[in-house]
Structure 1
Amino acid sequence: MDWSALLRMPMTVLLILAVVFALITLVQLVALRQHLHDGHRLAASWRALLCLAAFALTLLLAGAGCALRGYRLLGEEAPVVEIDARILSPQRWALTLTWPDGSTRQLQLAGDAWRVEAIVLKWKLPTLLAGVPPLYRLDRLSGRYDDPAQEAQAPRTVIGFGEAGAFDLLDLKRQYPRWIPEIDTVYGSGAFLPLVDQGHYSVSLMRTGALVARPDEATERRIGQPLGD
Structure 2
Amino acid sequence: MNWNEVLRLPTTLLLMLTGVVLLLVLAQLLAARQHVRNRRHLAAAGHSLLLVVLLLVAALLGGTAMSLRGYRFLSEEQPVAQIDARILSPQRWALTLTWPDGAARKLMLAGDDFQIDAIVLKWKLPAMLAGVPPLYRLDRLSGRYDDASQETTAARTVIDFSQAGAGDLFDLKKQVPGWFPEVDTVFGSAAFLPLVDGGHYSVSLMRTGALVARPDEATAQRIGQSFGG
What letter corresponds to residue 201 of structure 2 in structure 1?
Y
Q: 1: CA distance between counterparts of 2:82 and 2:88? A: 19
Shift of 1:140: 0.2
Q: 2: CA distance between counterparts of 1:19 and 1:105? A: 50
Q: Which residue of structure 2 lines up, in the alignment, with residue 148 of structure 1?
A: 148
Relative to 1, partners in 2 of residues 1:90 and 1:71: Cα closer, same or farther, differing over 3 Å?
same
Per mean C-alpha deviation after superposition, the further-off stretch among 129-138 and 169-178 is 169-178
SS at match of 2:159: strand
Q: How does 1:75-224 map to 2 (within 5 A)?
A: 75-163=75-163, 165=165, 167-224=167-224
Relative to 1, partners in 2 of residues 1:227 and 1:14: Cα closer, same or farther, differing over 3 Å?
closer
Q: Which residue of structure 2 lines up, in the alignment, with residue 23 of structure 1?
A: 23
What letter corresponds to residue 190 of structure 1 in structure 2?
A
Shift of 1:185: 0.5
Q: 2: CA distance between counterparts of 1:223 and 1:166? A: 42
What letter corresponds to residue 61 of structure 2 in structure 1?
L
Shift of 1:31: 2.1
Shift of 1:156: 0.3
Task: State the number of aligned residues.
Answer: 228
The alignment's TM-score, normalised by the length of structure 2, stands at 0.94
Gaps of 5+ in 2: none
Shift of 1:13: 1.9
SS at match of 1:84: strand
Per mean C-alpha deviation after superposition, the further-off stretch among 45-54 and 205-214 is 45-54
Q: 2: CA distance between counterparts of 1:64 and 1:32? A: 28
Deviations 1:151-182 (A, max 9, x none): 10111000011115374211121222122100
The alignment's TM-score, normalised by the length of structure 1, stands at 0.94
Q: 1: CA distance between counterparts of 2:194 and 2:173? A: 35
Q: 2: CA distance between counterparts of 1:86 and 1:105? A: 14
Q: 2: CA distance between counterparts of 1:46 and 1:84? A: 69
Q: Which residue of structure 2 lines up, in the alignment, with residue 8 of structure 1?
A: 8
Deviations 1:124-153 (A, max 9, x none): 111110110111110000000111111101
Q: Percent identity?
A: 65
Q: 1: CA distance between counterparts of 2:26 and 2:46? A: 15
Q: Which residue of structure 2 lines up, in the alignment, with residue 37 of structure 1?
A: 37
